[in-house]
Amino acid sequence: MIAYLVLVLAFADRIFAHMLGPQLIHFTAMGGSLLYFGARRSRWNALLVLLMMMASDFYLTTIVYKYPFHLRGYVVTWAWGVGVFLLGHGLLSRKTTLLRVAGGVLGSATAFYVLVDFAVWLGRMYPHTLAGFIACYVAALPFYRNDLASTAVVAGVLFGVPALARRLVPAWRERTVA
């Protein structure tokens, strides 16, 4: 149940971050929440992730930004979201360690940076040259930094708090019994 709540809150955060202003964009709970949701739910929930990403992108594009919705503009992001969910499921569902969570965080943020910015470069914002390619990725470095930081914070809290509680509760019980 908590995993579903985390997922809903992550999508609410995604929508509100876009509505509140560009300073919050790319500092969201998506990456860490998708890793956590993947670690706690069966792989069939990937369809739920995909549907929620589709719905939120449609809402943001047509209602918040009032742009026409073009499917091809979102396929990379949707594939990333499902991929992060599956990464969380494959990497963290059986055994959760600090190293595995850190790998998931790094993989999630880096995949978003590489995939989405490649799609941006293929669009019309940058020339299809080596200089345009480099300019695209350099311009995206602040967004990558924010995404990496937010994914680390969210995943750290979602995976770290329960692990810390499991360690502290037995120690606390031992002190109260003695």
Give the tens place of pLDDT for each residue, 81-126: 999 999 999 999 999 999 999 999 999 999 999 999 999 999 999 9
The pLDDT tens digits for 56-88 are: 999 999 998 899 999 999 999 999 999 999 999
Provide the 8-state DSSP code for 29.
S
Which tokens hold the place of 73?
């503009």
pLDDT of residue 178: 57
One-letter amino acid for residue 100 of the chain: R
Spatial distance between the Cα atoms of 113 and 17, rounded to a whole number of angstroms: 18
Q: Encode burial over 119-150: b for 16+ CB neighbours within 10 A, e otherwise.
A: bbbeeeebeeeeeebeebbeebeebbebbbeb
Cα dihedral sign for 52, 23, 115, 104? negative
Mean pLDDT lowest among 2-16, 36-50, 79-93, 97-111? 2-16
Q: Encode burial over 20-55: b for 16+ CB neighbours within 10 A, e otherwise.
A: eeeeeebbbbbbbbbbbbbbbbeeebbeebeebbbe
pTM of the model: 0.90
Domains of the chain plus CATH, in order, are 2-177 (1.10.1760)
Kindly report the number of other CB atoms within 10 A of residue 1's CB atom: 6
